[in-house]
């Protein structure tokens, strides 16, 4: 899908030939003297159109526009959230195989965040999964024109939004694929494909290399599956080698049955999404290749399945992590933290400026925050603040969670240095406290995306989050370098 930003207002937009035109109308709209503006003003006056976010008035071949279908959509005060609500509603009303060219026009000058919201909302609303369908129905929409009279002022934000959309769709694609179409080996190949893009390189390690590194926790999870593990190292080199990189660590459990501590059967199919953290790292690198910021970034993905065979790790087993710390595995379904802890130790060799891990880690985070905000943990306020601000800017929201030392008490055990689970209370926090043990040598943050990486029910599928947050954060760090 091709996005284009045009520096035009309603008058020029009304003459543009398109299959559909969405006109975004704010509550402070004042009509000019052109026909389309007059139509909008009359609709508001007659109460046929409300300017509340998401309120629509649909028209077919109106004489005031050259588009086949026109949707007038209220955007309230014009914030990113209001615009996203309006565009999602309008796009849903326009779904049709005949919709190939769409124009979205702001009736008044747009804010930067509002322009970004248009791009991401159109992409979300028209995404179509096709990989494993015998009769796929790909996205019909091929061209989207975003029109505002102040295009020059918002060009940079628009370009970033387009790049984020490309990355988020790559993340969605891999997280949506069934586990037999997204094995650890296939994830490795996807990373190697990214290495064909500018400034990106890739190394993919298998079981022998991982064993040599001493990643005992990672290997313990992988030993229950016949699919060999992969440890993926991506590098984006956009700055001098002397500049310390930011390291992104993605949980890559390509299927999670829970191991011996097996999950309930209902909705277990959704555990193909348990590599959404890894998928977000792939998507972020795809966006970096487009934007080319002056920053160095390393992506680490620990990819394996968590299944059950005769060699599967058992509750009560003790393993030795790459850091040398021993771990008593009380629950084999708390496997994400086991693969992440070894990846976090591996990150030390890059002498990073910061490390951010991304994982669908705990159901407890879903209970705490639902599907609106990701859980954010950070060892330093500056890092936590930067990630929080990036989420707000990208409308890929997160919420800072506590890391009080008292939460680590439940991880104590008589049989190892640490247990992999505590009690049910504060489960997302105790998981983060486990990870924190492996991060003493660098500033560290953890994003628990268990509630935000996918949707269940009739809308079941990956969201591509938190690619937007990560890209926004990295762009900000590049500017501050």
Burial readout 41-69 (b: 16 or more C-beta within 10 A, e: otherwise): bebbeeeebbbebbbbbebeebebbbbbb
Per the CB < 8 A criterion, the answer to whether 297 and 283 are in contact is no
Both tokens of 56, joined, read 């629509």
Helix (H, G, I), strand (E, B) or coil at 285: helix
Instruction: State the Cα–Cα distance between residues 276 and 336, nearest whole angstrom.
Output: 12
Q: How confident is the model at residue 474 (pLDDT cuts 50, 70, 90)?
A: very high
Domain CATH code at residue 85: 3.40.220.10
Question: Scanning the structure block, which residue is given the tokens 């009080």?
Answer: 404
86-104 confidence digits (pLDDT tens): 999 999 999 889 999 999 9
Q: Is residue 159 part of a domain?
A: no
Q: What pLDDT is recorded for position 12?
A: 95
Domain identity same for 134 and 29: yes
Rounded-to-integer distance, Cα 194 and Cα 171, Å: 13
Going from the C-alpha of 154 to that of each of 6, 71, 108, 111, 143, the distances in angstroms are 11, 23, 13, 7, 19
Residue 220 resides in a domain: yes
Q: Does 234 lie in the same domain as 204?
A: yes
Domain count, the chain: 2
Residue with tokens 């809308």: 459
Asked whether residue 387 is assigned to any structural domain, the reply reads yes
The tens digit of pLDDT for each residue in 184-222 reads: 999 999 999 999 999 999 999 999 999 999 999 999 999
Nearest Cα neighbor of 464 from 279, 194, 238 is 279
- Distance between CA 204 and CA 234 in Å, rounded? 9
Same domain, 113 and 176: no
Residues 128 and 237 in one domain: no
The one catalytic residue in 172, 337, 433, 465 is 337
pLDDT reported for residue 308 = 97
Tell me the two tokens of residue 223.
């030993």
From residue 386, how far is each of 25, 291, 469 by CA, in Å?
32, 19, 10
CB atoms within 10 A of CB 379: 18
Which of the residues 55, 100, 263, 455 is marked catalytic? 263
SS3 386: helix
- pLDDT tens digits, 40-74: 999 999 999 999 999 999 999 999 999 999 999 99
Picking from 87, 116, 150, the residue at the C-terminal end of a domain is 150
pLDDT reported for residue 63: 96
> What angle separates helix 467-480 from helix 276-291, to the nearest 10 degrees?
50
DSSP E strand stretches across 108-267: 143-147, 200-205, 230-237, 246-256
Q: CA geometry: angle at 471 spanning 130 and 140, to 5°? A: 25
Mean pLDDT along residues 155-180 = 98
Do 111 and 146 sit in the same domain of this protein?
A: yes
Co-location of 342 and 471 in the same domain: yes
Cα–Cα nearest to 358, from 263, 225, 473: 473
- Concatenating the DSSP letter of every residue in 410-440 gives GG--SSSSEES---STTHHHHHHHHHHTT-T
Q: What is the CATH number of the domain that holds 370?
A: 3.40.630.10
CA distance 285 to 461: 21
Which of the four pLDDT bands, split at 50, 70 and 90, describes residue 259? very high
Domain identity same for 260 and 367: yes
Give the tens place of pLDDT for each residue, 95-129. 889 999 999 999 999 999 999 999 999 999 999 99
Q: Which residue has the tokens 């139509």?
A: 39
Which among 150, 180, 211 is the end of a domain?
Answer: 150
pLDDT in tens, 72-81: 999 999 999 9
What is the mean predicted confidence (pLDDT) over 300-329?
A: 98
User: Residue 94 belongs to what domain range?
Assistant: 2-150
The verdict on residue 118 lying in a domain is: yes
Q: Is 351 one of the catalytic residues?
A: no
SS3 state at 59: strand
In a domain, 291, yes or no: yes
Residue 457: per-residue pLDDT: 87
**216 and 100, same structural domain?**
no
Asked if residue 162 is part of any domain, the answer here is: no
Count of residues making up the chain? 481
* Residues 244 and 134 both lie in one domain: no
Helix (H) or strand (E) segment spanning residue 259:
none
> What's the distance, Cα to Cα, between the start and end of the chain in Å?
33
Task: For residues 181 and 328, state if they share a domain.
Answer: yes
- The reply to whether 191 and 132 lie within a common domain is no
Residue 281 has pLDDT above 90, yes or no: yes
pLDDT-derived band of residue 458, with 50, 70 and 90 as boundaries?
confident
In which band, very low, low, confident or very high, does the pLDDT at 286 lie, cut at 50, 70 and 90?
Answer: very high
Omega prior to 170 cis, within 30 of 0: no
280 plus 409 within the same structural domain: yes
Considering the domain boundaries, does residue 161 fall inside one? no
The mean per-residue pLDDT over the stretch 224-241 comes to 98
> Which residues fall within 8 angstroms of residue 479, CB to CB, at 6 or more apart?
none
Structural domain contains residue 114 = yes
Question: Is residue 292 flagged as an active site residue?
Answer: no
Alpha-carbon span 474 to 235, nearest angstrom: 14
133 CB burial (10 A radius; 0-12, 13-18, 19+): exposed
- For 359, residues 6+ apart whose C-beta sits below 8 A from its C-beta are 250, 251, 277, 336, 337, 340, 446, 447, 448, 449, 450
Task: Return the pLDDT at 481.
Answer: 83
DSSP state of 302: E
Tell me what the mean pLDDT of segment 377-397 comes to: 98
Task: Report pLDDT digits (tens) over 339-353.
Answer: 999 999 999 999 999
Domain boundary among 90, 115, 150: 150
CA distances from 186 to 179, 225, 307, 344, 473 (A): 10, 15, 18, 23, 28
Q: Which two tokens stand for residue 155?
A: 């060009």
Instruction: Report pTM.
Output: 0.97
């Amino acid at each position: 899908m091709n996005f284009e930003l045009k520096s035009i207002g309603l008058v020029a937009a009304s003459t543009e030939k398109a299959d559909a035109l969405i006109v975004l109308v704010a509550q402070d709209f004042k009509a000019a003297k052109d026909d389309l503006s007059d139509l909008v003003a009359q609709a508001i006056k007659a109460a046929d159109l409300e300017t509340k976010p998401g309120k629509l008035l649909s028209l077919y071949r109106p004489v005031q526009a050259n588009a086949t279908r026109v949707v007038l959509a209220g955007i309230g005060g014009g914030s990113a959230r209001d615009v996203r609500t309006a565009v999602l509603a309008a796009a849903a009303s326009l779904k049709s195989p005949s919709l190939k060219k769409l124009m979205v026009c702001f009736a008044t000058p747009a804010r930067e965040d509002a322009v970004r919201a248009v791009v991401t909302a159109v992409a979300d609303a028209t995404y179509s999964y096709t990989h494993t369908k015998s009769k796929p129905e790909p996205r019909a929409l091929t061209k989207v024109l975003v029109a505002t009279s102040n295009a020059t002022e918002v060009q940079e934000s628009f370009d970033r939004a387009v790049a984020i959309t490309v990355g988020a769709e790559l993340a969605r694609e891999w997280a949506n694929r069934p586990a037999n179409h997204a094995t650890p080996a296939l994830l490795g190949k996807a990373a190697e494909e990214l290495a064909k893009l500018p400034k990106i390189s890739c190394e993919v390690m298998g079981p022998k290399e991982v064993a040599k590194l001493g990643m005992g926790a990672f290997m313990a999870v992988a030993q229950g599956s016949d699919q060999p593990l992969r440890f993926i190292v991506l590098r984006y080199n956009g700055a001098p080698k002397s500049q310390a990189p930011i390291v992104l660590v993605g949980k890559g459990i390509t299927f999670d049955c829970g191991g011996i501590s097996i999950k309930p059967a209902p909705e277990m199919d959704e555990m193909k999404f348990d590599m959404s953290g890894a998928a977000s790292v792939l998507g972020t690198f795809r966006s970096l290749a487009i934007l080319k910021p002056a920053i160095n970034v390393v992506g680490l993905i620990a990819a394996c399945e968590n299944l059950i065979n005769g060699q599967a790790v058992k509750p009560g087993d003790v393993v030795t992590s790459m850091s040398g710390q021993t771990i008593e595995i009380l629950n084999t379904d708390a496997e994400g933290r086991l693969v992440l802890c070894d990846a976090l130790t591996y990150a030390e060799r890059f002498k990073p400026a910061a490390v951010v891990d991304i994982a669908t880690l705990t159901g407890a985070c879903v209970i705490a925050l639902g599907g609106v905000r990701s859980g954010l943990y950070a060892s330093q306020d500056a890092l936590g603040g930067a990630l929080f601000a990036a989420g707000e800017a990208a409308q890929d929201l997160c919420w800072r969670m506590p890391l009080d030392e008292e939460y680590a008490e439940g991880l104590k055990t008589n049989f190892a240095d640490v247990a992999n689970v505590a009690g049910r209370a504060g489960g997302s926090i105790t998981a983060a406290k486990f990870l924190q043990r492996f991060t003493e040598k660098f500033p560290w943050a953890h994003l628990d995306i268990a509630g935000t990486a996918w949707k269940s029910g009739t809308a079941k599928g990956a969201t591509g989050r938190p690619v937007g947050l990560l890209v926004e954060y990295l762009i900000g760090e590049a500017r501050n370098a």
